[in-house]
């Protein structure tokens, strides 16, 4: 929903719902711009960049991706963990852009989507279910990132890496909870 609201606001501001980031304005003020982040201290761009989309197709694909995968992950980990994870994946993608693509200005929630791919692999491993489908999703989308023009491969890789770290942390946390010895009613403590 936040991405849709940002899309409408940036479209109205730019005068183009077809290409809301085509002119300087709100969209450009929110996108991940490594120079503005480091030079002007605009660290919020590492998160807000995930809300800005370049055209309707960009928005639609990212919302489908996040909506479909996010539901399964939210059922497994809860809403709070997913909100935190989404922010961290956005930041991971933004940091990778700053490091590997410092002359680019980027936007889009695909950093979150790629993080969710990694989290889906982690969830499959935790549940001991087949990981081939999430791995194929990653490979196909990385091939797209490499071959399509105008796509931020570093942003996608950063989101994927952040999602992998999150998956490890969530799995370890859940294992610790399930292996701790529960208090019994006869326990004198």
pLDDT single digits (tens) 87-111:
999 999 999 999 999 999 999 999 9
Examine the pLDDT at 28 and tell me if it is beyond 80: yes
CA distances from 136 to 12, 19, 40, 56, 77 (A): 38, 31, 40, 26, 23
Across the chain, mean pLDDT equals 92
Residue pair 120/69 in contact by the 8 Å Cβ criterion: yes
For domain 32-179, the CATH superfamily is Rhomboid-like (1.20.1540.10)
| pTM attached to this predicted model | 0.89
Contacts of 17 (CB under 8 A, 6+ apart): 7, 8, 11, 56
Distance from C-alpha of 152 to C-alpha of 120, rounded to nearest angstrom: 21
| Residue boundaries of the structural domains of the chain | 32-179
């Amino acid at each position: 929903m936040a991405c849709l609201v940002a899309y409408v606001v940036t479209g109205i501001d730019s005068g183009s719902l077809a290409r809301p980031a085509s002119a300087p304005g709100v969209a450009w003020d929110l996108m991940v711009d490594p120079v503005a982040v480091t030079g002007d201290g605009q660290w919020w761009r590492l998160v807000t960049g995930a809300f800005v989309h370049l055209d309707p197709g960009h928005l639609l694909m990212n919302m489908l991706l996040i909506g479909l995968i996010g539901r399964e992950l939210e059922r497994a980990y809860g809403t709070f963990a997913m909100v935190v994870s989404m922010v961290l994946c956005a930041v991971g993608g933004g940091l990778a852009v700053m490091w590997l693509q410092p002359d680019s200005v980027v936007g889009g929630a695909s950093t979150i989507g790629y993080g969710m791919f990694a989290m889906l692999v982690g969830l499959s491993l935790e549940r001991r279910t087949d990981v081939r489908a999430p791995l194929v999703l990653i490979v196909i989308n990385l091939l797209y990132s490499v071959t399509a023009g105008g796509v931020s491969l570093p942003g996608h890789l950063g989101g994927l890496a952040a999602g992998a770290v999150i998956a490890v942390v969530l799995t370890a946390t859940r294992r610790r909870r399930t292996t701790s010895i529960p208090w019994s009613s006869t326990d004198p403590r």
